[in-house]
C-alpha cells in the first residue's frame, strides 16, 4: 500500500448553483417582486456581516451559459453552519423562483506535499489565511470538480509518495506563473460529494482561466492522472445584484 497523504482542513464550502424560473417570476406584480428582492438583499447582508466578523465568507456570481444562472458560494466553519445557511435561503420566498441547478459540498484542503521538516503550518498566518479564506471579490470566478484517475497504469493512488510529491511540485510550478493573475482555492470532497476535489479560480480577467487550464493540460498530473467534471464560469455580483437582473421583468 502506498503511503497516504496527510492534509490540513479549514472551512467547509458550499457551491450552490441556481437557475431563475423566469416564467414564474414574470407572473408576480412589481410590488411583490420588490418584497422578495428586499428579503434576498437582507439575507445577503447577513452573510456580509458574517464575513466582516471573519466567521465565514460568501460571494455571489452570475453564471454564463445554460448550466446555471447564479452561484452562491459560502464558506463556514462546520457542515451544520452550511445546512443552517441553506435552510435560511430556502425560507426566503424568492427561493421558489431560484431553482437548484447543481451543488457541491467540500472542505478547504491543503496537502503536505510541500511541507518542510519540523515546520508547524498552523503557526503560519499565510497558511491560516488559506485554510480560512475570505473569498476574493475579483471580477470573475471559475469552478470545476475533478478526480485523480484510478485505472490501469494510470492509477494515481498506486504511485509512491515521493513520485506523487515530485509530480505535484512540478504541477504547482505552473500555477505559480499565474500569481497575481489567478487565485485558487482547493476544496476536498472525498466522502462528501461525487468528485474528489473542487477547484475554484478567481481572476479579474476571465481569459486567464482558459490560459491556465490549457497550460496545465500538458502537465503529467492533468494529462495522465486527471479527470474533470463540468466547468462553470461567471462574474461577481453585488449583494443586491439580483435586483438589477430581475427588476422590470
pLDDT in tens, 194-231: 999 999 999 999 999 999 999 999 999 999 999 999 99
pLDDT in tens, 129-167: 999 999 999 999 999 999 999 988 899 999 998 899 899
Write out the three cell numbers for 110: 491543503
Residue ranges of domains in the chain: 8-246
Q: Which residues face 61 on adjacent strands? A: 71, 236
Write out the three cell numbers for 180: 497575481
> Are residues 135 and 75 in contact, defined by beta-carbon separation less than 8 angstroms?
yes
Active site residue 144: yes
In terms of Cα–Cα distance, which of 75, 136, 138 is closest to 109? 75
Pick the CATH number of 8-246 from 3.30.70.1030, 3.90.660.10, 3.40.50.10490, 3.40.50.300: 3.30.70.1030
pLDDT in tens, 16-33: 999 999 999 999 999 999
Between CA 98 and CA 194 the distance in angstroms is 23
What is the distance of C-alpha 11 from the center of its chain? 12
> Which one of 12, 61, 97, 144 is the catalytic residue?
144
Amino acid at each position: 500500500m502506498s503511503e497516504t497523504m496527510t492534509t490540513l482542513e479549514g472551512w467547509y464550502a458550499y457551491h450552490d448553483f441556481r437557475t431563475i424560473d423566469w416564467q414564474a417570476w414574470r407572473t408576480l406584480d412589481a410590488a411583490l417582486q420588490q418584497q422578495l428582492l428586499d428579503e434576498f438583499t437582507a439575507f445577503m447582508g447577513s452573510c456580509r456581516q458574517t464575513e466582516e466578523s471573519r466567521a465565514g465568507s460568501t460571494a455571489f456570481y452570475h453564471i454564463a451559459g445554460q448550466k446555471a444562472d447564479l452561484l452562491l458560494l459560502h464558506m463556514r466553519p462546520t457542515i451544520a453552519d452550511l445546512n443552517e445557511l441553506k435552510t435560511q435561503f430556502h425560507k426566503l420566498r424568492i427561493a421558489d423562483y431560484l431553482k437548484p441547478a447543481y451543488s457541491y459540498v467540500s472542505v478547504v484542503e491543503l496537502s503536505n506535499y510541500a511541507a518542510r521538516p519540523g515546520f508547524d503550518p498552523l503557526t503560519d498566518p499565510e497558511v491560516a489565511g488559506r485554510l480560512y479564506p475570505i473569498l476574493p471579490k475579483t471580477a470573475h470566478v471559475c469552478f470545476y470538480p475533478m478526480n485523480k484517475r484510478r485505472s490501469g497504469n494510470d492509477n494515481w493512488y498506486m504511485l509512491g509518495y515521493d513520485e506523487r510529491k515530485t509530480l505535484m511540485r512540478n504541477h504547482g510550478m505552473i500555477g505559480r506563473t499565474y500569481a497575481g493573475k489567478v487565485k485558487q482555492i482547493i476544496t476536498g470532497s472525498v466522502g462528501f460529494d461525487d468528485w474528489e476535489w473542487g477547484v475554484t479560480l478567481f481572476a479579474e480577467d476571465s481569459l486567464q482561466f482558459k490560459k491556465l487550464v490549457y497550460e496545465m493540460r500538458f502537465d503529467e498530473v492533468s494529462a495522465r492522472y486527471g479527470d474533470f467534471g463540468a466547468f462553470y464560469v461567471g462574474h461577481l455580483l453585488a449583494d443586491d445584484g439580483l435586483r438589477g437582473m430581475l427588476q422590470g421583468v
